[in-house]
């Protein structure tokens, strides 16, 4: 099945996963690209997005699988036509005739920007580094069966903390994104819980890249 790579930025980050699927279904229609439909009582255009992105999180590496009905259109044309039919903040970066199997999708790189309106306190970066070097950092996770506690450390592949200007700290991390998966915002939750004295005023989160088991870029 063909796959496309897209980014979700600006105000588009506030569009939910389900709304984004609808948005793409309509964009395909506007672009004159007919999608195949699912079978069943309520046939739906077949688009699926690999890893649902939390509302408010920016991404430069979203993957969407789709299936065109009958017609064969070059990937480059699909990209151009879709980009003319998409709203601000959602942009197709590339289109592939066939994507790798989703089950091989294993890691993702993320970047957290921690904002401190009154400046970054001394020792913040060091304390954070130390926190993520522990063997166990337990954070609550809301699951289908209520709140569960989980140790996030085994799901962090690597992580760096650096100060960026007077008022920002940036955390770059590579984390597991399938079986098990770590929501990058859990890193921020860990800071709030373990280092309440350096709780930021606001956190921005961005998904940067996705990888397979061998940590090769996943497409």
The residues of the shown chain that bind another protein, judged by CB under 8 A, are 10-12, 14-16, 18-19, 22-23, 25-30, 34, 37, 42-43, 45, 55-56, 85-89, 115, 117, 167, 201-202, 204
Determine if residue 4 is left, alpha or beta; phi over 0 gives left, psi from -120 to 50 gives alpha, anything else beta: beta
Beta carbon nearer to another protein, 25 or 163:
25
Beta carbon nearer to another protein, 14 or 213:
14
**Minimum distance between the CB of residue 214 and another protein, rounded to whole angstroms?**
34
**Minimum distance between the CB of residue 22 and another protein, rounded to whole angstroms?**
7
**Minimum distance between the CB of residue 87 and another protein, rounded to whole angstroms?**
5
**Minimum distance between the CB of residue 211 and another protein, rounded to whole angstroms?**
27
Output the CA–CA distances (angstroms, integers) from residue 139 to 38, 109, 112, 150, in the order listed: 38, 20, 17, 6
**Minimum distance between the CB of residue 85 and another protein, rounded to whole angstroms?**
7
**Structure-block tokens of residue 117:** 């309106």
Beta carbon nearer to another protein, 6 or 132:
6
Torsion of CA 70, 73, 75, 77, to 10 degrees: -140
State the Rg of the chain over Cα: 19
Output the CA–CA distances (angstroms, integers) from residue 48 to 10, 22, 38, 62, 93, in the order listed: 22, 10, 11, 11, 17
Beta carbon nearer to another protein, 87 or 216:
87
For β-strands 168-176 and 156-163, DSSP reports them as antiparallel
Beta carbon nearer to another protein, 56 or 154:
56
Beta carbon nearer to another protein, 105 or 169:
169
Residue 36 DSSP class? P
**Minimum distance between the CB of residue 64 and another protein, rounded to whole angstroms?**
16
CA 12 to chain centroid: 13
């Amino acid at each position: 099945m063909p796959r496309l790579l897209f980014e979700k930025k600006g105000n588009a980050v506030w569009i939910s996963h389900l709304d984004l699927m609808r948005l793409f279904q309509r964009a395909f229609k506007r672009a004159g690209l007919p999608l195949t439909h699912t079978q069943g009582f309520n046939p739906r255009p077949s688009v699926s997005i690999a890893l649902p992105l939390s509302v408010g999180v920016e991404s430069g590496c979203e993957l969407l699988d789709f299936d065109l009905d009958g017609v064969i259109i070059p990937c480059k044309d699909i990209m151009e036509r879709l980009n003319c039919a998409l709203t601000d903040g959602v942009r197709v970066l590339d289109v592939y005739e066939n994507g790798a199997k989703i089950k091989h999708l294993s890691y993702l790189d993320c970047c957290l920007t921690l904002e401190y309106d009154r400046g970054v306190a001394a020792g913040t970066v060091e304390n954070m580094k130390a926190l993520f070097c522990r063997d166990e950092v337990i954070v609550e996770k809301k699951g289908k069966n209520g709140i569960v506690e989980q140790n996030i450390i085994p799901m962090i592949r690597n992580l760096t903390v650096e100060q960026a200007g007077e008022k920002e700290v940036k955390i770059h991390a590579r984390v597991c994104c399938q079986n098990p998966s770590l929501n990058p915002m859990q890193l921020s939750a860990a800071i709030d819980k373990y280092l309440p004295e350096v709780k930021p005023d606001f956190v921005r989160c961005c998904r940067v890249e996705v990888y397979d088991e061998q940590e090769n870029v996943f497409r």
